Structure 1
C-alpha cells in the first residue's frame, strides 16, 4: 500500500472527526460544509480502494489474508459515507456525532490496513 495515501486518509478522517465533534459539542447538526469534508475523505478512501485492488491485481500480496485485506478496504471506503448518510436522517447534534464516530472508525481502519499489508 502507499503509506502516504494511508496517512492522508487517516489524518483527514481525524480532522473531520474533530470538526464534526466540535459541531456536536456546540449542539449543531451536520451542515453543507461538513458534507464537503465527508466527500473529500470519501474520495481519498475510494482512491485507496482502487490502489489496493490494483496492487493485488499486479500480484502483490498482504502479509495476512487477501480476503481480510479486501474486507478492510471496502469497510474503510464505506465508513464515512454511511455515517454521512445516517446523519441526514438525524438533523440534531447526534448527526454530527455520528459523522465524527464514523471518521474515527475510518482512522482506526487505516491503522489496521497498514498492519495487514505488512507495515
Structure 2
C-alpha cells in the first residue's frame, strides 16, 4: 500500500495520543483543540481508506487477504471518531484518556495494516 501515508497516519495518531495523554495528566477533559487534532487524524484515515479501496479496485491484492485488509481499514477509520464521541460523554480527564488510548490503538492498527499488505 502507500507506506508513507501509513507512516504519517501512525505518527499523527501517536502525537494525538501524547497530546491527549498530557491533558489527562493535567486533569483536563478533551477541548476543542483536541477535536481539531482528531479531525486531522480522521481525515488521514479517510484518505488511507480511499487509497486502499482504489488499490484493490485496480487489481492489487494484499498478502494476507482482502477481507481482513478491508476490515482493518474500516476499523482504523472508525477508531478515533469513536474515541472522540466517547470522550464527549465523559467530560473529565477520562475523556482525554479515552482519546489517548484510541490514538495508540490506531497506531497499532497502522502497523498491522502495513503487515497485512505485505510490508
Q: Which TM class, normalised by the smaller chain length?
A: over 0.9
When the two chains are superposed, the root-mean-square deviation of aligned CA atoms in Å is 0.3
Match of 1:91 in 2: 91
Aligned residues, how many?
119
Q: TM-score, normalised by structure 1?
A: 0.99
> SS of the counterpart of 2:59?
coil
**For the residues of structure 2 that align with 1:101 and 1:40, how far apart are their CA atoms?**
17
**For the residues of structure 2 that align with 1:65 and 1:7, how far apart are their CA atoms?**
21
Deviations 1:75-103 (A, max 9, x none): 00000000001000000000000000000
**For the residues of structure 1 that align with 2:68 and 2:13, how far apart are their CA atoms?**
22
Gaps spanning 5+ residues in structure 2: where?
Answer: none
Q: TM-score, normalised by structure 2?
A: 0.99
Deviations 1:47-98 (A, max 9, x none): 0000000000000000011000000000000000000010000000000000
